[in-house]
Structure 1
Amino acid sequence: MTDKSVYGPWAVIAGGSEGVGASFAELLADAGINLVLIARKPGPLHETADRARARGVEVRTLTLDLLDPGALPAIRTVTDGLEVGLLVFNAGANSYGHEFVTGDLDRVQGVLDLNITAQLALTHHFGALMRERRRGGILLVGSLSGFMGQAQISVYSAAKAFGRVFAEGLWLELGQYDVHVLELVLGVTRTPAMERAGLRMDLPGLRVAEPEDVAREGLEHLADGPVWVAGENAGTAEKRSGFPRAELVLAAHEASRRLLLPAASPAPSASSS
Protein backbone atom coordinates (compact mmCIF):
# COMPACT_ATOMS: atom_id res chain seq x y z
CA MET A 1 0.00 0.00 0.00
CA THR A 2 1.22 3.50 -0.85
CA ASP A 3 2.78 5.18 2.19
CA LYS A 4 0.60 8.12 3.21
CA SER A 5 3.40 9.60 5.32
CA VAL A 6 5.55 9.92 2.18
CA TYR A 7 2.98 10.57 -0.57
CA GLY A 8 0.09 12.14 1.34
CA PRO A 9 -2.04 13.52 2.72
CA TRP A 10 -3.19 14.72 -0.74
CA ALA A 11 -2.56 13.48 -4.27
CA VAL A 12 -3.34 15.31 -7.50
CA ILE A 13 -4.28 13.15 -10.50
CA ALA A 14 -4.42 14.86 -13.88
CA GLY A 15 -6.46 12.61 -16.13
CA GLY A 16 -8.18 10.99 -13.17
CA SER A 17 -11.62 10.15 -14.54
CA GLU A 18 -11.37 6.75 -16.22
CA GLY A 19 -9.04 3.91 -17.14
CA VAL A 20 -5.64 4.00 -15.47
CA GLY A 21 -6.37 7.39 -13.87
CA ALA A 22 -9.48 6.04 -12.16
CA SER A 23 -7.49 3.03 -10.93
CA PHE A 24 -4.87 5.35 -9.45
CA ALA A 25 -7.65 7.21 -7.65
CA GLU A 26 -9.17 4.08 -6.15
CA LEU A 27 -5.83 2.61 -5.05
CA LEU A 28 -4.72 5.87 -3.44
CA ALA A 29 -8.07 6.19 -1.70
CA ASP A 30 -7.58 2.67 -0.32
CA ALA A 31 -4.30 3.96 1.12
CA GLY A 32 -6.14 6.80 2.87
CA ILE A 33 -4.79 9.56 0.63
CA ASN A 34 -7.14 12.43 -0.20
CA LEU A 35 -7.56 13.29 -3.87
CA VAL A 36 -7.79 16.15 -6.29
CA LEU A 37 -9.06 14.71 -9.57
CA ILE A 38 -8.74 16.68 -12.82
CA ALA A 39 -10.35 15.67 -16.10
CA ARG A 40 -12.33 17.05 -19.04
CA LYS A 41 -15.37 14.77 -18.83
CA PRO A 42 -17.59 15.57 -15.84
CA GLY A 43 -19.59 12.32 -15.92
CA PRO A 44 -16.72 9.81 -15.50
CA LEU A 45 -14.91 12.30 -13.24
CA HIS A 46 -17.75 12.46 -10.73
CA GLU A 47 -18.32 8.71 -10.86
CA THR A 48 -14.67 8.08 -9.98
CA ALA A 49 -14.82 10.72 -7.25
CA ASP A 50 -17.86 9.01 -5.71
CA ARG A 51 -16.12 5.63 -5.68
CA ALA A 52 -13.09 7.20 -3.97
CA ARG A 53 -15.23 8.99 -1.38
CA ALA A 54 -16.92 5.69 -0.57
CA ARG A 55 -13.48 4.51 0.54
CA GLY A 56 -13.42 7.21 3.22
CA VAL A 57 -11.23 9.97 1.77
CA GLU A 58 -11.89 13.57 0.84
CA VAL A 59 -12.08 14.24 -2.89
CA ARG A 60 -12.07 17.51 -4.80
CA THR A 61 -12.82 17.57 -8.53
CA LEU A 62 -11.97 19.99 -11.28
CA THR A 63 -13.54 19.67 -14.72
CA LEU A 64 -10.84 21.24 -16.83
CA ASP A 65 -9.10 21.05 -20.18
CA LEU A 66 -5.37 21.23 -19.50
CA LEU A 67 -4.94 23.01 -22.84
CA ASP A 68 -6.78 26.01 -21.38
CA PRO A 69 -4.27 28.84 -20.77
CA GLY A 70 -5.79 29.32 -17.32
CA ALA A 71 -5.43 25.66 -16.32
CA LEU A 72 -2.69 26.05 -13.73
CA PRO A 73 -4.31 29.03 -11.96
CA ALA A 74 -7.56 27.05 -11.85
CA ILE A 75 -5.77 24.07 -10.33
CA ARG A 76 -4.12 26.32 -7.77
CA THR A 77 -7.49 27.63 -6.62
CA VAL A 78 -8.32 24.07 -5.60
CA THR A 79 -4.91 22.94 -4.31
CA ASP A 80 -3.30 25.98 -2.69
CA GLY A 81 -3.31 25.33 1.03
CA LEU A 82 -3.27 21.55 0.58
CA GLU A 83 -0.18 19.47 1.30
CA VAL A 84 0.18 17.58 -1.96
CA GLY A 85 2.54 14.66 -1.57
CA LEU A 86 1.96 13.02 -4.95
CA LEU A 87 1.39 14.26 -8.48
CA VAL A 88 0.18 11.74 -11.06
CA PHE A 89 0.23 13.11 -14.59
CA ASN A 90 -1.93 10.72 -16.60
CA ALA A 91 -3.35 13.25 -19.04
CA GLY A 92 -1.34 12.40 -22.15
CA ALA A 93 -3.39 11.72 -25.27
CA ASN A 94 -2.99 11.61 -29.02
CA SER A 95 -5.57 13.79 -30.74
CA TYR A 96 -3.54 13.77 -33.95
CA GLY A 97 -3.66 10.76 -36.26
CA HIS A 98 -2.35 11.87 -39.65
CA GLU A 99 0.88 11.98 -41.57
CA PHE A 100 2.74 14.98 -40.22
CA VAL A 101 3.26 16.94 -43.43
CA THR A 102 -0.42 16.68 -44.43
CA GLY A 103 -1.75 17.30 -40.94
CA ASP A 104 -3.02 20.38 -39.16
CA LEU A 105 -0.27 22.18 -37.24
CA ASP A 106 -2.77 23.49 -34.70
CA ARG A 107 -3.67 19.90 -33.78
CA VAL A 108 0.01 19.02 -33.65
CA GLN A 109 0.54 21.88 -31.23
CA GLY A 110 -2.29 20.55 -29.08
CA VAL A 111 -0.54 17.20 -28.75
CA LEU A 112 2.65 18.95 -27.68
CA ASP A 113 0.88 21.30 -25.28
CA LEU A 114 -0.94 18.48 -23.51
CA ASN A 115 1.85 15.91 -23.36
CA ILE A 116 4.72 18.32 -22.73
CA THR A 117 3.71 21.87 -21.78
CA ALA A 118 0.94 20.97 -19.33
CA GLN A 119 3.08 18.24 -17.79
CA LEU A 120 5.93 20.68 -17.27
CA ALA A 121 3.66 23.30 -15.70
CA LEU A 122 2.17 20.94 -13.11
CA THR A 123 5.50 19.27 -12.38
CA HIS A 124 7.21 22.62 -11.91
CA HIS A 125 4.55 23.87 -9.49
CA PHE A 126 4.07 20.79 -7.32
CA GLY A 127 7.70 19.65 -7.58
CA ALA A 128 8.92 22.92 -6.08
CA LEU A 129 6.62 22.47 -3.08
CA MET A 130 7.76 18.87 -2.57
CA ARG A 131 11.38 19.98 -2.80
CA GLU A 132 10.80 22.46 0.01
CA ARG A 133 9.18 19.79 2.19
CA ARG A 134 11.83 17.23 1.21
CA ARG A 135 9.34 14.47 0.50
CA GLY A 136 6.81 13.38 -2.07
CA GLY A 137 6.51 11.75 -5.45
CA ILE A 138 5.89 12.61 -9.10
CA LEU A 139 4.57 9.87 -11.36
CA LEU A 140 4.47 10.65 -15.09
CA VAL A 141 2.58 8.15 -17.23
CA GLY A 142 4.52 7.35 -20.38
CA SER A 143 4.14 4.98 -23.29
CA LEU A 144 6.05 2.38 -25.26
CA SER A 145 5.32 4.71 -28.19
CA GLY A 146 8.05 6.94 -26.81
CA PHE A 147 10.74 4.38 -27.54
CA MET A 148 10.29 4.46 -31.31
CA GLY A 149 8.95 6.74 -34.04
CA GLN A 150 5.70 5.52 -35.58
CA ALA A 151 3.69 6.55 -38.62
CA GLN A 152 0.53 8.58 -37.97
CA ILE A 153 1.61 9.25 -34.38
CA SER A 154 5.10 10.59 -34.96
CA VAL A 155 4.43 13.74 -32.90
CA TYR A 156 2.86 11.79 -30.02
CA SER A 157 5.77 9.33 -29.98
CA ALA A 158 8.25 12.20 -29.91
CA ALA A 159 6.35 13.86 -27.05
CA LYS A 160 6.45 10.63 -25.06
CA ALA A 161 10.18 10.31 -25.71
CA PHE A 162 10.58 13.80 -24.28
CA GLY A 163 8.64 12.76 -21.17
CA ARG A 164 10.94 9.85 -20.47
CA VAL A 165 14.15 11.84 -20.82
CA PHE A 166 12.65 14.66 -18.76
CA ALA A 167 11.75 12.19 -15.99
CA GLU A 168 15.32 10.91 -15.89
CA GLY A 169 16.75 14.38 -15.41
CA LEU A 170 14.10 15.36 -12.87
CA TRP A 171 14.82 12.16 -10.95
CA LEU A 172 18.43 13.29 -10.59
CA GLU A 173 17.48 16.82 -9.56
CA LEU A 174 14.83 15.97 -6.97
CA GLY A 175 16.30 12.76 -5.61
CA GLN A 176 18.69 14.68 -3.38
CA TYR A 177 15.61 16.23 -1.73
CA ASP A 178 13.96 12.83 -1.13
CA VAL A 179 11.33 13.43 -3.80
CA HIS A 180 10.75 10.34 -5.93
CA VAL A 181 10.27 10.67 -9.68
CA LEU A 182 9.04 7.86 -11.90
CA GLU A 183 7.93 7.57 -15.47
CA LEU A 184 5.57 4.61 -15.69
CA VAL A 185 5.73 3.25 -19.24
CA LEU A 186 2.53 1.60 -20.43
CA GLY A 187 2.03 -0.81 -23.29
CA VAL A 188 -1.36 -1.81 -24.67
CA THR A 189 -3.81 -1.33 -21.79
CA ARG A 190 -7.53 -2.05 -21.76
CA THR A 191 -8.74 1.51 -21.25
CA PRO A 192 -11.80 3.35 -22.61
CA ALA A 193 -9.49 5.58 -24.65
CA MET A 194 -7.84 2.62 -26.40
CA GLU A 195 -11.21 1.00 -26.99
CA ARG A 196 -12.49 4.23 -28.56
CA ALA A 197 -9.41 4.23 -30.80
CA GLY A 198 -10.50 0.85 -32.15
CA LEU A 199 -7.38 -1.08 -31.15
CA ARG A 200 -7.68 -4.84 -31.47
CA MET A 201 -7.08 -6.55 -28.14
CA ASP A 202 -7.45 -10.09 -29.49
CA LEU A 203 -4.23 -10.50 -31.47
CA PRO A 204 -2.35 -13.72 -30.64
CA GLY A 205 0.56 -13.08 -28.33
CA LEU A 206 -0.41 -9.47 -27.62
CA ARG A 207 0.15 -8.40 -24.02
CA VAL A 208 -2.92 -6.48 -22.86
CA ALA A 209 -2.71 -5.02 -19.38
CA GLU A 210 -5.60 -4.08 -17.12
CA PRO A 211 -5.73 -0.50 -15.76
CA GLU A 212 -5.75 -1.55 -12.10
CA ASP A 213 -2.71 -3.78 -12.59
CA VAL A 214 -0.52 -1.11 -14.20
CA ALA A 215 -1.64 1.55 -11.72
CA ARG A 216 -0.77 -0.72 -8.81
CA GLU A 217 2.58 -1.55 -10.40
CA GLY A 218 3.39 2.13 -10.77
CA LEU A 219 2.53 2.97 -7.17
CA GLU A 220 4.51 0.00 -5.88
CA HIS A 221 7.60 1.20 -7.78
CA LEU A 222 7.42 4.93 -7.10
CA ALA A 223 10.80 4.81 -5.38
CA ASP A 224 12.39 2.76 -8.20
CA GLY A 225 12.78 5.52 -10.78
CA PRO A 226 13.53 7.06 -13.05
CA VAL A 227 11.69 4.68 -15.43
CA TRP A 228 9.58 1.59 -14.82
CA VAL A 229 8.10 -0.37 -17.73
CA ALA A 230 4.79 -1.92 -16.70
CA GLY A 231 3.02 -5.08 -17.75
CA GLU A 232 6.01 -7.27 -18.63
CA ASN A 233 6.95 -4.97 -21.51
CA ALA A 234 10.53 -4.30 -20.43
CA GLY A 235 11.87 -6.57 -23.18
CA THR A 236 9.92 -4.67 -25.82
CA ALA A 237 11.21 -1.33 -24.53
CA GLU A 238 14.78 -2.62 -24.58
CA LYS A 239 14.40 -3.96 -28.11
CA ARG A 240 12.93 -0.69 -29.35
CA SER A 241 15.95 1.15 -27.97
CA GLY A 242 18.40 -0.85 -30.06
CA PHE A 243 19.97 -0.73 -33.52
CA PRO A 244 19.79 -0.85 -36.52
CA ARG A 245 16.95 1.66 -36.40
CA ALA A 246 15.48 1.11 -39.88
CA GLU A 247 14.94 -2.59 -39.36
CA LEU A 248 13.42 -2.13 -35.90
CA VAL A 249 11.16 0.75 -36.95
CA LEU A 250 9.79 -1.16 -39.94
CA ALA A 251 9.08 -4.27 -37.85
CA ALA A 252 7.28 -2.26 -35.18
CA HIS A 253 5.31 -0.45 -37.90
CA GLU A 254 3.96 -3.74 -39.24
CA ALA A 255 2.97 -4.85 -35.74
CA SER A 256 1.19 -1.57 -34.97
CA ARG A 257 -0.77 -1.72 -38.24
CA ARG A 258 -2.23 -5.07 -37.22
CA LEU A 259 -3.58 -3.49 -34.03
CA LEU A 260 -5.85 -1.26 -36.11
CA LEU A 261 -7.04 -3.79 -38.68
CA PRO A 262 -10.60 -5.16 -38.44
CA ALA A 263 -10.69 -8.71 -37.14
CA ALA A 264 -11.79 -10.10 -40.52
CA SER A 265 -9.04 -8.40 -42.53
CA PRO A 266 -5.76 -10.18 -43.32
CA ALA A 267 -2.55 -8.70 -42.01
CA PRO A 268 -0.52 -6.84 -44.65
CA SER A 269 2.54 -8.56 -46.04
CA ALA A 270 6.00 -7.20 -45.32
CA SER A 271 6.40 -6.34 -49.02
CA SER A 272 3.47 -3.90 -48.86
CA SER A 273 5.23 -1.47 -46.54
Structure 2
Amino acid sequence: MLKTKKTYAIRYVNGQPVKHIVSDFNSQPKYSRIPKLPLTITKTFRVMVWNILKQQRKGWLSVLKKNGENTQLMLLQEVKTNREMLDFVASYYLTADQVPAFSLPKHSYGVMTLSSAFPVYCYPLRTREPLLGFSKSALITVYPTYKENLLMVINIHAINFSLGIENYNQQLEPIGKQIAAHKGPVILAGDFNTWSKKRVKALKAFTQNMNLEEVSFPVDNRSLVFGRPLDFIFFRGLNLIHSSVLATQASDHNPLLVQFDVSSNTID
Protein backbone atom coordinates (compact mmCIF):
# COMPACT_ATOMS: atom_id res chain seq x y z
CA MET A 1 0.00 0.00 0.00
CA LEU A 2 1.32 3.45 -0.91
CA LYS A 3 1.74 5.83 1.99
CA THR A 4 0.03 9.19 1.66
CA LYS A 5 2.43 12.06 2.18
CA LYS A 6 1.43 14.38 4.98
CA THR A 7 0.72 17.96 4.02
CA TYR A 8 2.70 20.38 6.15
CA ALA A 9 3.96 23.93 6.33
CA ILE A 10 7.56 24.88 7.04
CA ARG A 11 8.02 27.89 9.32
CA TYR A 12 11.14 30.00 9.01
CA VAL A 13 12.04 32.35 11.86
CA ASN A 14 15.43 34.01 12.04
CA GLY A 15 17.64 32.39 14.66
CA GLN A 16 15.21 29.54 15.40
CA PRO A 17 15.06 25.94 14.18
CA VAL A 18 12.82 25.25 11.19
CA LYS A 19 9.40 24.05 12.35
CA HIS A 20 6.96 21.74 10.55
CA ILE A 21 3.22 22.36 11.00
CA VAL A 22 0.79 19.60 9.98
CA SER A 23 -2.82 20.15 8.87
CA ASP A 24 -5.36 19.85 11.68
CA PHE A 25 -8.88 21.01 10.86
CA ASN A 26 -12.21 19.42 11.63
CA SER A 27 -15.21 21.72 11.76
CA GLN A 28 -13.83 24.84 13.43
CA PRO A 29 -10.35 26.38 13.16
CA LYS A 30 -8.53 26.39 16.50
CA TYR A 31 -6.72 29.68 16.95
CA SER A 32 -3.87 30.04 19.39
CA ARG A 33 -4.81 32.25 22.32
CA ILE A 34 -1.20 32.99 23.17
CA PRO A 35 -0.74 36.79 22.97
CA LYS A 36 0.83 37.76 19.65
CA LEU A 37 2.11 41.01 18.26
CA PRO A 38 -0.34 42.39 15.68
CA LEU A 39 0.37 42.51 11.97
CA THR A 40 0.13 46.28 12.22
CA ILE A 41 -0.40 48.74 15.08
CA THR A 42 -2.26 51.12 12.75
CA LYS A 43 -5.50 50.71 10.82
CA THR A 44 -3.76 50.20 7.49
CA PHE A 45 -1.50 47.50 6.12
CA ARG A 46 0.01 46.59 2.76
CA VAL A 47 -0.07 43.30 0.84
CA MET A 48 1.98 42.07 -2.12
CA VAL A 49 0.96 39.04 -4.23
CA TRP A 50 3.42 37.57 -6.71
CA ASN A 51 4.21 34.33 -8.54
CA ILE A 52 8.00 34.55 -8.43
CA LEU A 53 8.74 31.78 -10.99
CA LYS A 54 11.16 29.91 -8.70
CA GLN A 55 13.49 32.95 -8.77
CA GLN A 56 14.64 31.99 -12.28
CA ARG A 57 14.93 35.53 -13.66
CA LYS A 58 17.25 38.37 -12.75
CA GLY A 59 15.91 41.14 -10.56
CA TRP A 60 13.51 39.17 -8.35
CA LEU A 61 15.41 40.00 -5.16
CA SER A 62 15.54 43.73 -5.87
CA VAL A 63 11.74 43.72 -6.40
CA LEU A 64 11.25 42.03 -3.02
CA LYS A 65 13.68 44.36 -1.23
CA LYS A 66 12.06 47.44 -2.73
CA ASN A 67 8.70 46.43 -1.28
CA GLY A 68 9.74 44.54 1.85
CA GLU A 69 10.22 47.49 4.19
CA ASN A 70 6.65 48.80 3.99
CA THR A 71 4.67 45.64 3.16
CA GLN A 72 3.29 43.68 6.11
CA LEU A 73 2.22 40.63 4.08
CA MET A 74 3.82 39.02 1.04
CA LEU A 75 1.93 36.17 -0.60
CA LEU A 76 4.34 34.49 -3.00
CA GLN A 77 3.84 31.49 -5.28
CA GLU A 78 6.45 29.18 -6.81
CA VAL A 79 9.01 30.05 -4.15
CA LYS A 80 12.31 28.20 -4.11
CA THR A 81 13.88 28.11 -0.65
CA ASN A 82 17.38 29.07 -1.72
CA ARG A 83 19.77 31.00 0.51
CA GLU A 84 18.96 34.39 -1.02
CA MET A 85 15.25 33.95 -0.31
CA LEU A 86 15.77 32.80 3.27
CA ASP A 87 18.18 35.69 3.89
CA PHE A 88 15.53 38.09 2.62
CA VAL A 89 12.96 36.57 4.98
CA ALA A 90 15.33 36.91 7.94
CA SER A 91 16.15 40.54 7.10
CA TYR A 92 12.65 41.87 6.34
CA TYR A 93 10.05 39.70 8.08
CA LEU A 94 9.35 38.21 11.47
CA THR A 95 8.29 34.88 10.02
CA ALA A 96 7.53 33.02 6.79
CA ASP A 97 5.45 29.88 6.25
CA GLN A 98 5.81 27.74 3.15
CA VAL A 99 3.79 24.75 1.96
CA PRO A 100 6.02 22.62 -0.28
CA ALA A 101 4.24 21.56 -3.45
CA PHE A 102 7.28 19.38 -4.04
CA SER A 103 10.78 19.08 -2.63
CA LEU A 104 14.24 18.31 -3.95
CA PRO A 105 17.27 17.41 -1.80
CA LYS A 106 18.37 21.03 -1.33
CA HIS A 107 15.22 23.10 -1.82
CA SER A 108 11.45 23.02 -1.51
CA TYR A 109 9.04 24.78 -3.86
CA GLY A 110 5.57 26.13 -3.15
CA VAL A 111 3.53 29.02 -1.83
CA MET A 112 5.08 31.11 0.93
CA THR A 113 3.46 33.77 3.12
CA LEU A 114 5.85 36.29 4.69
CA SER A 115 4.51 38.41 7.51
CA SER A 116 5.44 41.02 10.09
CA ALA A 117 3.58 39.02 12.78
CA PHE A 118 3.34 35.42 13.93
CA PRO A 119 0.13 33.69 12.84
CA VAL A 120 -2.23 32.32 15.48
CA TYR A 121 -3.31 29.64 13.02
CA CYS A 122 -1.64 27.84 10.13
CA TYR A 123 -3.31 25.35 7.82
CA PRO A 124 -1.39 23.95 4.83
CA LEU A 125 -3.06 22.44 1.77
CA ARG A 126 -1.70 20.54 -1.20
CA THR A 127 -3.51 19.33 -4.33
CA ARG A 128 -2.16 16.89 -6.90
CA GLU A 129 -2.23 17.95 -10.54
CA PRO A 130 -4.49 15.31 -12.16
CA LEU A 131 -2.65 15.18 -15.51
CA LEU A 132 1.02 15.81 -14.70
CA GLY A 133 1.18 14.26 -11.24
CA PHE A 134 2.88 17.28 -9.66
CA SER A 135 1.23 19.19 -6.83
CA LYS A 136 0.12 22.75 -6.17
CA SER A 137 -0.03 24.17 -2.66
CA ALA A 138 -2.07 26.66 -0.67
CA LEU A 139 -1.75 28.10 2.82
CA ILE A 140 -4.27 29.53 5.27
CA THR A 141 -2.92 31.69 8.09
CA VAL A 142 -4.63 33.94 10.63
CA TYR A 143 -3.03 37.05 12.14
CA PRO A 144 -4.01 39.48 14.90
CA THR A 145 -4.33 43.00 13.53
CA TYR A 146 -5.41 46.42 14.74
CA LYS A 147 -7.72 46.29 17.79
CA GLU A 148 -7.57 42.47 18.01
CA ASN A 149 -9.18 41.78 14.67
CA LEU A 150 -8.22 38.35 13.38
CA LEU A 151 -7.40 38.39 9.69
CA MET A 152 -7.57 35.15 7.67
CA VAL A 153 -5.13 35.09 4.74
CA ILE A 154 -5.28 32.45 2.00
CA ASN A 155 -2.33 32.16 -0.36
CA ILE A 156 -3.07 29.83 -3.29
CA HIS A 157 -1.44 28.47 -6.40
CA ALA A 158 -4.29 26.76 -8.24
CA ILE A 159 -3.87 23.57 -10.23
CA ASN A 160 -3.07 24.23 -13.86
CA PHE A 161 -3.65 21.18 -16.05
CA SER A 162 -6.96 19.35 -15.66
CA LEU A 163 -9.86 18.19 -17.82
CA GLY A 164 -12.93 20.19 -16.89
CA ILE A 165 -13.23 22.07 -13.61
CA GLU A 166 -14.04 19.27 -11.15
CA ASN A 167 -10.50 19.16 -9.75
CA TYR A 168 -10.34 22.95 -9.74
CA ASN A 169 -13.48 23.15 -7.61
CA GLN A 170 -12.18 20.39 -5.34
CA GLN A 171 -9.10 22.47 -4.55
CA LEU A 172 -11.30 25.42 -3.56
CA GLU A 173 -13.71 23.35 -1.44
CA PRO A 174 -11.64 23.02 1.79
CA ILE A 175 -10.71 26.69 1.52
CA GLY A 176 -14.38 27.56 1.39
CA LYS A 177 -15.03 25.57 4.58
CA GLN A 178 -12.38 27.52 6.43
CA ILE A 179 -13.61 30.88 5.19
CA ALA A 180 -17.15 29.97 6.23
CA ALA A 181 -15.94 29.08 9.72
CA HIS A 182 -14.05 32.37 10.15
CA LYS A 183 -15.99 35.38 11.44
CA GLY A 184 -13.49 38.15 10.75
CA PRO A 185 -11.87 39.79 7.72
CA VAL A 186 -10.46 37.61 4.93
CA ILE A 187 -7.97 37.94 2.08
CA LEU A 188 -7.86 35.28 -0.66
CA ALA A 189 -5.12 35.84 -3.22
CA GLY A 190 -2.62 34.19 -5.51
CA ASP A 191 -2.18 32.62 -8.92
CA PHE A 192 -5.54 31.05 -9.80
CA ASN A 193 -4.56 29.79 -13.26
CA THR A 194 -7.80 31.14 -14.68
CA TRP A 195 -6.84 30.65 -18.32
CA SER A 196 -10.26 29.37 -19.41
CA LYS A 197 -13.77 30.78 -19.34
CA LYS A 198 -14.96 27.84 -17.21
CA ARG A 199 -12.26 28.44 -14.61
CA VAL A 200 -13.07 32.13 -14.39
CA LYS A 201 -16.75 31.30 -13.95
CA ALA A 202 -15.97 28.73 -11.23
CA LEU A 203 -13.74 31.17 -9.34
CA LYS A 204 -16.29 33.99 -9.53
CA ALA A 205 -19.06 31.67 -8.31
CA PHE A 206 -16.89 30.53 -5.41
CA THR A 207 -15.90 34.04 -4.28
CA GLN A 208 -19.45 35.34 -4.58
CA ASN A 209 -20.68 32.44 -2.45
CA MET A 210 -18.04 33.37 0.15
CA ASN A 211 -19.13 37.06 0.03
CA LEU A 212 -15.69 38.11 -1.16
CA GLU A 213 -15.12 41.28 -3.15
CA GLU A 214 -12.62 41.37 -6.02
CA VAL A 215 -9.84 43.97 -6.08
CA SER A 216 -9.82 45.94 -9.31
CA PHE A 217 -6.78 47.76 -10.66
CA PRO A 218 -6.97 51.25 -12.24
CA VAL A 219 -4.09 50.31 -14.57
CA ASP A 220 -4.42 46.56 -15.03
CA ASN A 221 -1.01 45.19 -15.99
CA ARG A 222 -1.71 41.70 -14.71
CA SER A 223 -0.14 38.85 -16.66
CA LEU A 224 -2.53 37.26 -19.17
CA VAL A 225 -2.95 33.81 -20.69
CA PHE A 226 -5.45 33.52 -23.54
CA GLY A 227 -6.42 37.09 -22.72
CA ARG A 228 -7.38 36.30 -19.12
CA PRO A 229 -5.60 37.41 -15.91
CA LEU A 230 -4.25 34.65 -13.67
CA ASP A 231 -3.65 36.61 -10.46
CA PHE A 232 -6.39 37.94 -8.18
CA ILE A 233 -7.00 39.39 -4.75
CA PHE A 234 -10.37 38.95 -3.06
CA PHE A 235 -11.38 40.27 0.36
CA ARG A 236 -14.13 40.87 2.89
CA GLY A 237 -14.36 42.90 6.11
CA LEU A 238 -11.72 45.37 4.93
CA ASN A 239 -11.68 48.73 3.19
CA LEU A 240 -9.57 48.90 0.04
CA ILE A 241 -7.45 52.06 -0.04
CA HIS A 242 -5.16 51.54 -3.02
CA SER A 243 -4.34 48.92 -5.63
CA SER A 244 -1.71 48.70 -8.35
CA VAL A 245 0.19 46.26 -10.55
CA LEU A 246 3.97 46.50 -10.81
CA ALA A 247 5.32 45.87 -14.31
CA THR A 248 8.56 43.86 -14.14
CA GLN A 249 10.64 41.39 -16.12
CA ALA A 250 11.71 39.58 -12.93
CA SER A 251 9.00 36.91 -13.40
CA ASP A 252 6.38 35.87 -15.92
CA HIS A 253 3.81 37.36 -13.52
CA ASN A 254 3.55 40.98 -12.41
CA PRO A 255 3.22 41.66 -8.65
CA LEU A 256 -0.09 42.93 -7.25
CA LEU A 257 0.12 45.60 -4.54
CA VAL A 258 -2.78 46.62 -2.31
CA GLN A 259 -3.34 48.66 0.82
CA PHE A 260 -6.21 47.87 3.16
CA ASP A 261 -7.86 49.55 6.12
CA VAL A 262 -8.85 47.09 8.87
CA SER A 263 -12.58 47.10 9.55
CA SER A 264 -14.22 46.87 12.97
CA ASN A 265 -15.15 43.22 12.46
CA THR A 266 -13.92 41.00 15.26
CA ILE A 267 -13.93 37.34 16.20
CA ASP A 268 -16.57 36.45 18.75
| Higher relative contact order (Cα pairs below 8 Å, separated by 6+ residues) | 2
Confirm or deny a common fold (TM above 0.5): no
What range is the shorter-chain TM-score in?
0.3 to 0.5
The TM-score normalised by the length of structure 1 is: 0.38
- The structure that has the greater radius of gyration is 1
Higher-strand-fraction structure: 2
